[in-house]
Structure 1
Amino acid sequence: MSFIEIKNVSKTFDGVNVLKNLNITVNEGTVLGILGRSGSGKSVLINMLRGMKEYKPDKGQIIYNIAICPTCLRVEPPSMEDKICKCSGKFEVKSVDFWNTDRKVFAAIKRRISIMLQRTFALYEDDTVIDNVIKSITGHDDEETIYLAIEMLEMAQMSHRITHIARDLSGGEKQRVVLARQMAKEPMIFLADEPTGTLDPKTAELIHQAIIDGVKNKGRTMVVTSHWPEVMRHLSDYAIWLDKGEIIEEGDPETVVQSFMSHVPLPEKKVEFKTGGPIIKMEEVKKHYYSIERGVVKAVDGIDLTVNEGEIYGVVGLSGAGKTTLSRILFGLTDPSSGQIMVKLGEEWISMTEKGITGRGRVKPYLGILHQEYSLYPHQSVLGNLTDAISLELPAEFAKIKALYVLHAVGFDEDYAATILTKYPEELSGGERHRVALAQVLIKEPNVVILDEPTGTMDPITRIQVTDSIRTARDEMNQTFLIISHDMDFVLDVCDRASIMRGGKILKTGLPQAIVEELTIKEKKKMLKK
Structure 2
Amino acid sequence: MSFITFKNIGKTFNDVPVLKNINLEIDEGETLGILGRSGSGKSVLISMLRGTKEYEPDEGQIIFHVAMCKECMHVEAPSKIGKKCSCGGEYEEKTIDFWHAERLEFAAIKRRIAIMLQRNFALYDEETVIDNVLKAMGDEGKYLEENIYRALELLDMVQMSHRVTHVARDLSGGEKQRVVLARQLAKNPTLFLADEPTGTLDPQTADRLHDTLEKEIKNKNITMVITSHWPEVINTLADKVIWLEKGEIKECGKPEEVVDKFLATVPLPKKVEKHAHGGPEIEIKNIKKYYYSIERGVVKADDNINLSVNHGEIFGIVGLSGSGKTTLTRMILGLTDPSSGEINIKLGDDWIDMTKAGQFNRGRVTPYIGLLHQEYSLYPSRTILGNLTDAISLDLPGEFAKIKASHVLVAVGFDESTAGNILEKYPDELSVGEKHRVALAQVLIKEPNIIILDEPTGTMDPITRVIVTDSILRARDEFDQTFLIVSHDMDFVLDVCDRATLMRGGKVLETGKPEEIVSSLTVKEKEDMLKDE
Q: TM-score range by the shorter chain?
A: 0.5 to 0.7
Partner of 2:176: 174
Displacement of 1:199: 3.4
After superposition, the C-alpha distances for 1:25-67 in whole angstroms (9 at most, x for unaligned) are 1000110001001110111110110001111111110000000
Name which structure has the greater RCO, CA cutoff 8 Å, separation 6+: 2
User: What percentage of residue pairs aligned between the two structures are identical?
Assistant: 57
Q: RMSD of the TM alignment (CA)?
A: 3.5
What letter matches 2:184 in structure 1?
Q
Displacement of 1:156: 1.5
Displacement of 1:285: 7.2
Partner of 2:23: 23
Partners of 2:217 and 2:224 within 8 A in 1: yes
Displacement of 1:196: 2.6
Displacement of 1:96: 0.3
Cα distance in structure 2, aligned partners of 1:54 and 1:161: 35
Residue 73, structure 1, aligned to residue 70, structure 2: no
After superposition, the C-alpha distances for 1:299-353 in whole angstroms (9 at most, x for unaligned) are 9xxx96579765589xxxxxxxxxxxxxx99xxxxxxxx999xxxxx989xxxxx
Displacement of 1:498: 7.7
How many residue pairs get matched?
305
Partner of 1:102: 102
User: Which aligned pairs between 1:29-428 and structure 2 lie closer than 5 A?
Assistant: 29-138=29-138, 140=141, 142-265=144-267, 267=269, 283=288, 305=304, 310=321
Displacement of 1:228: 3.1
Displacement of 1:161: 1.9
Cα distance in structure 1, aligned partners of 2:212 and 2:304: 35
Cα distance in structure 1, aligned partners of 2:30 and 2:17: 28
Cα distance in structure 1, aligned partners of 2:169 and 2:209: 19
After superposition, the C-alpha distances for 1:131-154 in whole angstroms (9 at most, x for unaligned) are 110111136562122112112112
Going from structure 1 to structure 2, the CA distance change for 1:255 and 1:185 (only over 3 Å counts) comes to same
| 252-261 or 226-235, larger mean C-alpha shift | 226-235
After superposition, the C-alpha distances for 1:430-485 in whole angstroms (9 at most, x for unaligned) are xxxxxxxxxxxxxxxxxxxxxxxxxxxxxxxxxxxxxxxxxxxxxxxxxxxxxxxx
Partners of 1:152 and 1:214 within 8 A in 2: no
Going from structure 1 to structure 2, the CA distance change for 1:498 and 1:47 (only over 3 Å counts) comes to closer
Cα distance in structure 1, aligned partners of 2:128 and 2:200: 24
What letter matches 1:128 in structure 2?
T
After superposition, the C-alpha distances for 1:146-202 in whole angstroms (9 at most, x for unaligned) are 112112112212212212221222211111100000000001000011223343323
Partner of 1:9: 9
Going from structure 1 to structure 2, the CA distance change for 1:73 and 1:266 (only over 3 Å counts) comes to farther
Cα distance in structure 2, aligned partners of 1:55 and 1:173: 28
What letter matches 1:231 in structure 2?
V
Cα distance in structure 1, aligned partners of 2:22 and 2:180: 30
What letter matches 1:248 in structure 2?
K
After superposition, the C-alpha distances for 1:75-128 in whole angstroms (9 at most, x for unaligned) are 110001111111100000111000111100000100100000001101111221
Partners of 2:11 and 2:20 within 8 A in 1: yes
TM-score, with length taken from structure 1: 0.53
What letter matches 1:238 in structure 2?
K
Cα distance in structure 1, aligned partners of 2:6 and 2:34: 13
Going from structure 1 to structure 2, the CA distance change for 1:285 and 1:43 (only over 3 Å counts) comes to closer
Going from structure 1 to structure 2, the CA distance change for 1:212 and 1:266 (only over 3 Å counts) comes to farther
Cα distance in structure 1, aligned partners of 2:289 and 2:10: 61
Going from structure 1 to structure 2, the CA distance change for 1:259 and 1:284 (only over 3 Å counts) comes to closer
Going from structure 1 to structure 2, the CA distance change for 1:91 and 1:282 (only over 3 Å counts) comes to farther
What letter matches 1:48 in structure 2?
M
Cα distance in structure 2, aligned partners of 1:347 and 1:251: 34
Cα distance in structure 1, aligned partners of 2:121 and 2:201: 13
Gaps of 5+ in 1: 269-280, 288-298, 314-327, 330-337, 341-345, 349-494, 500-508, 512-530
TM-score, with length taken from structure 2: 0.52
Going from structure 1 to structure 2, the CA distance change for 1:284 and 1:128 (only over 3 Å counts) comes to closer
Partners of 2:177 and 2:200 within 8 A in 1: no
Cα distance in structure 1, aligned partners of 2:160 and 2:249: 37
Cα distance in structure 1, aligned partners of 2:506 and 2:218: 43
Cα distance in structure 2, aligned partners of 1:34 and 1:161: 32
Partners of 2:42 and 2:227 within 8 A in 1: yes
Partners of 2:133 and 2:182 within 8 A in 1: yes
What letter matches 1:86 in structure 2?
S
Partners of 2:193 and 2:226 within 8 A in 1: yes
Gaps of 5+ in 2: 271-285, 293-297, 306-317, 325-338, 341-354, 358-372, 376-502, 511-533
Partner of 2:336: none
Cα distance in structure 1, aligned partners of 2:243 and 2:72: 39
Going from structure 1 to structure 2, the CA distance change for 1:161 and 1:282 (only over 3 Å counts) comes to farther
What letter matches 2:186 in structure 1?
A
Going from structure 1 to structure 2, the CA distance change for 1:71 and 1:262 (only over 3 Å counts) comes to same
What letter matches 1:224 in structure 2?
I
Cα distance in structure 1, aligned partners of 2:131 and 2:356: 38
Partners of 1:64 and 1:97 within 8 A in 2: yes
Partners of 2:173 and 2:200 within 8 A in 1: no
Match of 1:263, SS state, is coil
Cα distance in structure 2, aligned partners of 1:178 and 1:59: 32
Going from structure 1 to structure 2, the CA distance change for 1:175 and 1:498 (only over 3 Å counts) comes to closer
Partners of 1:282 and 1:339 within 8 A in 2: no
Going from structure 1 to structure 2, the CA distance change for 1:283 and 1:258 (only over 3 Å counts) comes to same
Larger radius of gyration: 1
| 201-210 or 1-10, larger mean C-alpha shift | 201-210
